[in-house]
């Protein structure tokens, strides 16, 4: 056990804020000194100061360095790192070092390795090769975690525990025997009796009736479609199993270091589907997120904004930490483009605009060996005479200038409903079309709102929807009664609600709500669909009506829909199999309105409809800005507010804003904020 170096600064029974000892916003990244000789580590200290770094994630993949052979522990380098960073005024998000078991462990206990649905074993040699449900792995991981807490729990550099790393990133679903056993325990807890499971899973179908929980397997590779509710429950179980692993490690840390906050880095991106992060939120002392833009995506800055808003949604609106992103290229996409001039700053400040109180990167110094040597870092292979390094130093300076935004919150009057179980269920096999992707629909609506300058909060169907004037419900295929009633109550109260196709179709057990689609929202919307008519690949139809401002293209989906008395048809199919039938409808409900969109509108039609919905709901953008200029507002309780203006275009923009002070340039603004091409401005206002 390490001796205490300073007396505790905090009430040891309370969890302190992660940034208690950080001035302003956090700035830093993953730091892997174990990859470098001492002279490089010494140079790091000088350059870290030059960049203005104040927080680093340390020891994430350090298990095999700390414990090269079982029971043989080498703390020297980590003791030294912690002490040096403390002396340099840098705080540490210290990992549990469990993110990858050392080779001696998987050799000794190959039974802890995870498996794919076809039985393939995921071997040692990369990372994350462990089954989160294996009791023996858990024992080893808890032992390692306790060692870290015992050794560094009182270290003055310790700000935060970083549990494991991106839990579930590479192995979101494990089909090993350990996972199968844990799945059966989870099912017994969920259903109590096997009869209840049979009922929920509809096992009268295809002779799937189970006699006992012992007969149940994970959805392994099978001759035909596995039972959909089995698949859905396995998704739920897997997310819970990953969370259970986090909780167990967190509990060990909490017991030994009750005052130190704990988190793990999430991946709230549009491509990470495995974990229901909204159900993880209560266990995180601060939400931390990793985000990487996709080089091939021309709208990657919009996807970034969605990811940031998802992080804020999981955090319940509280400030959160951006734990990782990249200064330039990554190494894991098919073609890893370097970031364009100004892109790194724009990306980082987009996250801050949307609620991040820390901006961190993978990683501090670019590795010279290993699978990530071509992944950019704050300090590149080519050294300090580089654009990336200059950007790193510049960003440190910018974050210092805008440090006062820390703790403030993003304001929004529009809600975008998001639900991971609905995502899982919507994409199950054996559906009307294989082309429907939940995130495509969510993204399309998010992007249309983004283009209209509307900031949204991402919330779950059961969230408190009071205070939202616009509630957008894209393809919420699965919804329970409570969620559906909550949405309807929003319209009754006066909000404009818009529900899109393939929503409200099934209950929480993936069983169809009978009597016509969209069962859960039929009454709210005043529509009844008797049949779906998905379109073929490449096929499109035309819809006409005021909802789309005349005429618009649509694809992917269609429905044979009837409207109830009092429901207005605001757009109709003009051609194709559904010609003459309703495509978009509106019904006035209570003091609000409920719209239904029964097809997938192409961009122009969607933009026209979103404009109409925005106007009808009275949700006005913060500032009217030209296309491609993003404006987001953070506000503090004391009346100060900050307008972040991010110019993603090649042309200078001038915005009509309230008066205030621009923090990057330090200049006074009197109603007109100039935002040069590709630049970011942060305007403090008191309005
Ligand atoms: C994350 C991971 C980091 C690093 C990074 C590269 O998934 O947490 O360790 O691998 O990606 O983009």
- Once rounded to an integer, what is the mean pLDDT over residues 23-35? 98
User: Is-above-0.95 flag for pTM?
Assistant: yes
Integer angstrom CA distances of residue 24 from 93, 98, 286, 440, 668: 16, 30, 16, 36, 22
Judged against a pLDDT cut of 60, whether residue 7 lies above it is answered with: no
Ligand 1 centre from 280 Cα, in Å?
20
Closest by alpha carbon to 485, among 523, 438, 528?
523
Which residue is closest in CA terms to ligand 1's atom 2? 166
**Mean pLDDT for the stretch of residues 329-354:** 98
SS3 422: helix
Average pLDDT over every residue of 452-478: 98
CA-closest residue to ligand 1 atom 5: 362
Q: What percent of the chain has pLDDT over 90?
A: 97
Give residue 324 CA to ligand 1 midpoint distance, Å: 8
Nearest CA to ligand 1 atom 4: 362
Does residue 164 line the site of ligand 1, with CB under 6 A?
Answer: no
Question: Are 58 and 83 spatial neighbours (Cβ–Cβ below 8 Å)?
Answer: no
Residue 270 banded pLDDT, cuts 50, 70, 90: confident
| Average pLDDT value over all residues in the chain | 97
State in Å: Cα 54 to ligand 1 middle: 20
- Is residue 558 over pLDDT 60? yes
Structure tokens at 123: 């071997």
Q: Which of 290, 295, 378 to mutate to test the pocket of ligand 1 (most atoms within 8 A of CB)?
A: 290
> Which residue lies with its CA nearest to atom 11 of ligand 1?
362
What's the 333 CA to ligand 1 centre distance in angstroms?
A: 12
All residues at 6 or more sequence positions from 552 whose CB lies less than 8 Å from its CB, including other chains: 542, 543, 544, 571, 601, 602, 604, 605, 606, 608
Say which range, 12-21, 179-188, 429-438, 561-570, has the weakest mean pLDDT: 12-21
Cβ of 324 closer than 6 Å to ligand 1, yes or no, is yes
- Residue 622's pLDDT is what? 81
Q: Which residues contact 171 (CB under 8 A, 6 or more apart)?
A: 114, 122, 128, 131, 132
Q: In whole angstroms, what is the distance from residue 236 CA to residue 242 CA?
A: 10
Decide whether any atom of ligand 1 lies within 6 Å of the 277 Cβ. Answer: no
- Give the model's pLDDT for residue 2: 41
Q: Are 644 and 349 in contact, with CB atoms under 8 Å apart?
A: yes
Rounded Cα distance, 215 and 471, in Å: 43
Output the CA 628–ligand 1 centroid distance in Å.
29
Q: Is 169 in the pocket of ligand 1 (CB under 6 A)?
A: yes
Question: Which bin fits 639, alpha (ψ -120 to 50), beta or left (φ > 0)?
Answer: left
**Contact status, residue 127 vs residue 190, Cβ threshold 8 Å:** no
Cβ of 451 below 6 Å from ligand 1: no
Q: What is the spatial distance between Cα 385 and Cα 390, in angstroms, rounded to a whole number? A: 8
Q: How far is the CA of 162 from the centre of ligand 1 (A)?
A: 14
Q: In the block, which residue shows the tokens 């801050």?
A: 352
pLDDT value at position 282?
Answer: 97
Return the ligand 1 atom nearest residue 267 CA: 7
pLDDT of residue 13: 64
Q: Which of 379, 373, 375, 406 is nearest to 393 (CA)?
A: 379
Q: Is the dihedral of CA 542, 543, 546, 547 positive or negative?
A: negative
Segment 572-608, tens digit of pLDDT: 999 999 999 999 999 999 999 999 999 999 999 999 9
Residue 594 has φ and ψ, to the nearest 5°, of: -125, 115
* Pocket of ligand 1 contains residue 165 by CB under 6 Å: yes
For residue 41, is pLDDT > 90?
yes
Tokens of 19: 């940034």
Residue nearest to atom 12 of ligand 1 (CA): 330
Q: Is the pLDDT of residue 72 over 50?
A: yes
Nearest one of 662, 661, 680 to 394, comparing CA atoms: 680
Residue 330 in contact with ligand 1 by CB distance below 6 A: yes
**CA atoms of 136 and 142, how far apart (whole Å):** 10
Confirm or reject: Cβ of 167 under 6 Å from ligand 1.
no
At residue 12 the predicted structure's pLDDT band, cuts being 50, 70 and 90, is: low
- Separation of CA 636 and ligand 1 centre (Å): 33
Helices 76-87 and 38-51, axial angle in degrees (round to 10): 30
Fill in the DSSP letter of residue 405: G
Ligand 1 pocket check: which of 95, 100, 126, 166 to mutate, most ligand atoms within 8 Å of Cβ?
166
| pLDDT for position 9 | 52
Task: Give the residue numbers marked as catalytic.
Answer: 166, 324
Judge whether 47 and 298 are in contact, CB under 8 Å: no
Rounded Cα distance, 125 and 35, in Å: 17
CA of 362 from ligand 1 middle (Å) equals: 6
State the closest ligand 1 atom to the C-alpha of 169, by its place in the atom list counted from 1.
7
Strands 540-545, 414-417: pairing kind: unpaired
Average pLDDT over residues 252-270: 96
| pLDDT tier for residue 10 given thresholds of 50, 70 and 90 | low
Cα(404) to centroid(ligand 1), Å: 29
pLDDT number for residue 129 = 97
| The two structure tokens encoding residue 295 | 């080089």
Q: Is 362 in the pocket of ligand 1 (CB under 6 A)?
A: yes
Confidence of residue 269 (pLDDT cuts 50, 70, 90): confident
| Shortest-distance atom of ligand 1 to CA 326 | 12
* Tens of pLDDT, residues 91-123: 999 999 999 999 999 999 999 999 999 999 999
Mutate to test the pocket of ligand 1, among 363, 367, 372, 373 (most ligand atoms within 8 A of CB): 372
Separation of alpha carbons 578 and 389, rounded Å = 57
């Amino acid at each position: 056990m390490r001796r205490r170096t300073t007396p505790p600064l905090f009430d040891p029974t309370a969890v302190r804020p992660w940034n208690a000892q950080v001035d302003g916003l956090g700035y830093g990244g993953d730091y892997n000194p174990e990859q470098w000789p001492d002279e490089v580590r010494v140079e790091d200290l000088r350059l870290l100061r030059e960049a203005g770094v104040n927080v680093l994630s340390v020891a994430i993949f350090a298990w095999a360095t700390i414990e090269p052979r079982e029971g043989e522990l080498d703390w020297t380098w980590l003791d030294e790192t912690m002490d040096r960073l403390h002396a340099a005024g840098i705080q540490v998000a210290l990992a549990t070092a469990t993110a990858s078991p050392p080779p001696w462990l998987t050799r000794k206990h190959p039974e802890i390795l995870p498996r794919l649905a076809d039985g393939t074993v995921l071997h040692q040699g990369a990372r994350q090769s462990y089954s989160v449900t294996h009791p023996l792995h858990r024992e080893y991981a808890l032992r390692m975690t306790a060692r870290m807490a015992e050794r560094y729990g009182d270290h003055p550099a310790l700000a935060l525990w970083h549990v494991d790393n991106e839990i579930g990133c590479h192995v979101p679903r494990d089909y090993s025997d350990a996972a199968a056993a844990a799945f059966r325990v989870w099912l017994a807890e969920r259903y109590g009796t096997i009869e209840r499971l049979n009922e929920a899973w509809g096992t009268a179908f295809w002779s799937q009736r189970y006699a006992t929980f012992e007969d149940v397997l994970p959805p392994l590779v099978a001759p035909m479609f596995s039972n959909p509710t089995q698949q859905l429950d396995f998704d739920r179980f897997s997310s819970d199993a990953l969370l259970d692993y986090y909780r167990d490690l967190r509990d060990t840390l909490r017991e030994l270091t009750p005052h130190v906050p704990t988190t793990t880095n999430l991946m709230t991106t549009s491509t990470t589907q495995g974990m229901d992060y909204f159900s993880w939120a209560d266990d995180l002392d601060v939400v931390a997120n990793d985000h990487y833009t996709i080089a091939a995506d021309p709208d990657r800055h919009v996807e970034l904004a969605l990811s940031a808003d998802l992080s804020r949604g999981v955090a319940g609106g509280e400030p959160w930490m951006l734990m990782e992103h990249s200064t330039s290229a990554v190494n894991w996409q098919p073609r890893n483009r370097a970031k364009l001039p100004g892109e790194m700053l724009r990306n980082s400040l987009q996250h801050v605009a949307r609620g991040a109180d820390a901006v961190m990167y993978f990683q501090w110094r670019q590795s010279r060996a290993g699978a990530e040597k071509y992944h950019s870092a704050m300090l590149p292979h080519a050294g300090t005479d580089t654009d990336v390094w200059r950007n790193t130093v510049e960003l440190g300076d910018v974050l210092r200038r805008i440090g006062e935004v820390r703790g403030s919150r993003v304001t929004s009057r529009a809600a975008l409903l998001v639900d991971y179980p609905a995502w899982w269920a919507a994409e199950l096999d054996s559906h009307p079309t294989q082309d429907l992707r939940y995130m495509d629909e969510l993204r399309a609506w998010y992007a249309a709102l983004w283009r209209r300058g509307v900031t949204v909060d991402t919330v779950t169907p059961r969230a408190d929807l009071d205070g939202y004037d616009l509630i957008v419900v894209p393809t919420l295929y699965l919804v329970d009664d409570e969620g559906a009633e909550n949405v309807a109550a929003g319209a009754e109260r006066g909000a404009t609600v818009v529900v899109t196709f393939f929503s409200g179709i099934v209950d929480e057990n993936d069983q169809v709500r009978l009597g016509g689609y969209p069962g859960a929202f039929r009454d709210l919307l005043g529509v009844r669909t008797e049949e779906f008519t998905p379109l073929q690949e490449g096929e499109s139809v035309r819809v006409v009506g005021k909802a789309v401002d005349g005429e618009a293209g649509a694809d992917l989906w269609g429905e044979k829909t009837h409207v109830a008395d009092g429901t207005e048809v605001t757009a109709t199919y003009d051609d194709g199999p559904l010609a003459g039938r309703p495509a978009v409808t509106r019904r006035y409900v209570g003091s609000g309105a409920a719209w239904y969109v029964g097809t997938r509108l192409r961009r122009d039609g969607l933009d026209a409809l979103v404009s109409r919905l925005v106007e009808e709901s009275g949700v006005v953008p913060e500032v009217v800005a030209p296309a491609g200029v993003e404006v987001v507002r953070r506000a503090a309780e004391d009346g100060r507010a900050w307008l972040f203006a991010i110019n993603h275009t090649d042309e200078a923009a001038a915005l009509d804003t309230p008066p205030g002070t621009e923090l990057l340039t330090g200049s006074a603004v009197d109603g007109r904020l100039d935002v040069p091409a590709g630049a970011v401005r942060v305007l403090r206002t008191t309005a």
